[in-house]
Amino acid sequence: MQNNSFWKISLVVVLLQMGITQVVARNKPNILLLIAEDINPYLGCYGDTTAKSPTIDGLAEQGIRFSSMYSPVGVCAPSRAALMTGMFPTSIGANHMRTGGGPKAHPFRMPAYQVVLPEGMKAFTEYLREAGYFCTNNRKKDYQFANQLTFWDECHHNATWEHRSKGQPFFSVFTYLESHEQKLWESKDDTLWVTADWVAAPPYLLNDSVGKKDLAVMYSNIYRMDQRVKQELLKIKKAGLDKNTIIIFMSDNGGPMPRQKRSVYERGTRIPFIVVFPDGKDRGSVDERMLNMADIPPTILSLAGIEPPEYMDGKAFMGDFQTNTGRDFVFSIRERMDARYDKQLSVRDKHFRYVRNYLPHQPEYLDVGFRYNIPSMRRMLGNKDQLTPAQASWFIYPRPKEELYHTTEDVHEMHNLGTDSTYADQLHKMRNLADQVEENYWPFKELTEYELIDSIGNVKTLRVDKPAIIRKGNTIRLSCSTKGSSMVYQVNGDGNKLSHWRYYTHPVQLKHGDTLRVVGARAGYLESEALIYLHNK
């Protein structure tokens, strides 16, 4: 009797929750996240007079431009691990570049593997889906663990907010490849929207015709990306959603040129970040707080009215649950880049950057084959004896064990002050900050990558257990014995449309003859075998 009462009460609560969730969800803001690949703030709104970026400059005029947002490492996959979890990639063992890569991206005999997130840790989009958001990801899914059905309502080249149910709030990500490093050679014969005679090379890059041509291609690709952003904004406006959509623009890491991407310096880790609120909040303002990419997921949850989980390294800097008033310092850590290893820790406060080199016997330059395609990269390698001291410094070894740069006065970080007694106190301060990072955010520092795989990695051996059902009349509850797992389901092969999987949050109501299909998932695991259940009274 008590058991029947429990099920009746549970069913009433579930139905009430479903109704409340729908009402609450419909009042939540839409969030559109636009990610440009591989750019420093090479944009007019950041003071770059060469850049042609009218759409993004317009976003900065309408919203808030953040001047000091940094990625945790100067390359995509580890940074995207932070963007999916709100964790520093070093905290979860995701800091080596592309754990799932193939022979060209891995050292000899290094197996492809997935990072297994600790129990209870999820992709932050799961919290959005649980709250009723329709979550889509268009193109990139380099997370250091395989994409799961639980992460997104849609994740493919045609994924879009346009496929949601009527009135359902959305969180949609669009990533633009136009500005990616590989476009420096793939687009070299395309129209130049910025010509070579307009550009000025920083001191560490070639300033000849080859170097300037690469920079002109880079700026032209940024303009192409800017126009793609414009197209998505026009769709939002045409659909009448601009009055309830928060727009976020950012990059995943620093610039695509040699010595930029993959580095732990300003040119590899500082990224543009702009937020536009539909009500014009703080329109045209500049936010100078120092922030890290790991702060973005909890902030998106906060903007959606969802309290971020306490385990996240990142902290919300906007929204209902804002706790982050700005960091005293940010840090980035470089380990394996494709098939080449390094070990660097960089700490940046408002005016100084400190770099600790754990492998000083080798140069900062890493022999990463992917960038050989850049014409100026090949020119630098083939003419080392003709390089200026600034250009040649990339190849010199041994390196100092410590580096210190006055980033306010030395914007390109070319003059190491590590041995200048004038800055001894500052050096001591930055050393202490680096020690804090080692102690608090780099638990796997002493492990080789092979040992890391044995510790928390998964070489395609773990699989989520097959879900189970508990039936009471037409009400079906789902469970999965794999700790830390989530579930998605379809009824009659359909979520809100064909091939869509609903995120399981509460018991499912079935009718006679309905077929229920359920899959369990957990980051770093293989998805479960599908449970298929035919409902008969």
270-304 pLDDT per residue, tens? 999 999 999 999 999 999 999 999 999 999 999 99
Residue pair 129/153 in contact by the 8 Å Cβ criterion: yes
Does 271 share its domain with 345? no
Domain-embedded: residue 97: yes
CB atoms closer than 10 angstroms to residue 293: 30
- What is the percentage of the chain residues whose pLDDT exceeds 90? 89
Catalytic residue among 45, 76, 135, 480: 76
Mean pLDDT of the region 327-347: 97
List the one residue out of 183, 196, 186, 248 whose CA is nearest residue 222. 183
Q: Examine the fold and report which residue of 428, 458, 488 is the final residue of a domain before the chain moves on.
A: 458
- What is the percentage of the chain residues whose pLDDT exceeds 70? 94
- Read off the pLDDT band of 103 (50, 70, 90): low
List the one residue out of 486, 449, 484, 460 whose CA is nearest residue 78. 449
Could you tell me the two tokens for 187?
């687009």
Give yes or no for residue 6 having a pLDDT over 70. no
Does 119 share its domain with 149? yes
- pLDDT tens, position by position, 492-509: 988 766 679 999 999 999
DSSP secondary structure string for all residues of 271-320:
EEEEEE-TT-TTTTEEEEEEEEGGGHHHHHHHHTT-PPPTT-SS--SSST
Give yes or no for residue 256 having a pLDDT over 60. yes
Q: Which residue has the tokens 């793939």?
A: 186
- pLDDT tens, position by position, 164-194: 999 999 999 999 999 999 999 999 999 999 9
- Read off the pLDDT band of 26 (50, 70, 90): low
Residue 502 backbone dihedrals phi, psi, to 5 degrees: -85, 145
Q: Which domain holds residue 53?
A: 34-328
- Read off the pLDDT band of 230 (50, 70, 90): very high
CB atoms closer than 10 angstroms to residue 288: 11
- Read off the pLDDT band of 316 (50, 70, 90): very high
Q: Is the peptide bond before 375 cis (omega within 30 degrees of 0)?
A: no
Does 393 share its domain with 245? no
- Specify the CATH number for the domain of residue 467: 2.60.40.10
Residue 98 backbone dihedrals phi, psi, to 5 degrees: 60, 85
Q: Examine the fold and report which residue of 427, 458, 489 is the final residue of a domain before the chain moves on.
A: 458
Does 292 share its domain with 311? yes
CA within 13 Å, CB half, 248:
25
The pLDDT assigned to 498 comes to 67
Side by side, the strands of the sheet bearing 531-534 are 502-503, 486-491, 515-521, 531-534
Does 89 share its domain with 219? yes
Residue 353 backbone dihedrals phi, psi, to 5 degrees: -125, 135
Does 304 share its domain with 450? no
Which segment of 98-102, 374-378, 516-520 scores lowest on mean pLDDT?
98-102
CA distance 133 to 22: 10
pTM score: 0.94
Burial class (CB in 10 A: 0-12, 13-18, 19+), 198: middle
- Read off the pLDDT band of 25 (50, 70, 90): low
Give yes or no for residue 4 having a pLDDT over 70. no
CA within 13 Å, CB half, 332:
32
- Read off the pLDDT band of 105 (50, 70, 90): confident
Number of domains, the chain: 3
- Specify the CATH number for the domain of residue 259: 3.40.720.10
Q: Examine the fold and report which residue of 310, 328, 346 is the final residue of a domain before the chain moves on.
A: 328
Domain-embedded: residue 13: no
Domain-embedded: residue 138: yes
**How many residues are listed for the chain in this entry?**
537
Domain-embedded: residue 7: no
CA distance 38 to 261: 7
Does 174 share its domain with 42? yes
CB atoms closer than 10 angstroms to residue 250: 20
Does 295 share its domain with 341? no
Could you tell me the two tokens for 426?
């500052």
Domain-embedded: residue 110: yes
Mean pLDDT over the full length of the chain = 93
The pLDDT assigned to 102 comes to 65
- pLDDT tens, position by position, 371-422: 999 999 999 999 999 999 999 999 999 999 999 999 999 999 999 999 999 9
Residue pair 69/271 in contact by the 8 Å Cβ criterion: yes
Does 159 share its domain with 182? yes
- pLDDT tens, position by position, 125-174: 999 999 999 999 998 999 999 999 999 999 999 999 999 999 999 999 99
Q: How far is CA 175 from CA 34, 137, 228, 286, 350, in A?
A: 6, 8, 10, 24, 30
Domain-embedded: residue 24: no
CA distance 45 to 461: 48
Mark whether 155 is an active-site residue: no
Does 402 share its domain with 507? no
Does 317 share its domain with 223? yes
Does 130 share its domain with 241? yes
Residue pair 43/56 in contact by the 8 Å Cβ criterion: yes
Domain-embedded: residue 346: yes
Domain-embedded: residue 23: no
The pLDDT assigned to 104 comes to 67
Q: How far is CA 534 from CA 55, 240, 416, 493, in A?
A: 52, 41, 69, 12
CA within 13 Å, CB half, 161:
22
Residue pair 142/80 in contact by the 8 Å Cβ criterion: yes
Task: Mention every residue, 6+ apart, whose C-beta is less than 8 A from residue 167.
Answer: 26
What is the SS3 assignment for 89? helix
- Read off the pLDDT band of 71 (50, 70, 90): very high
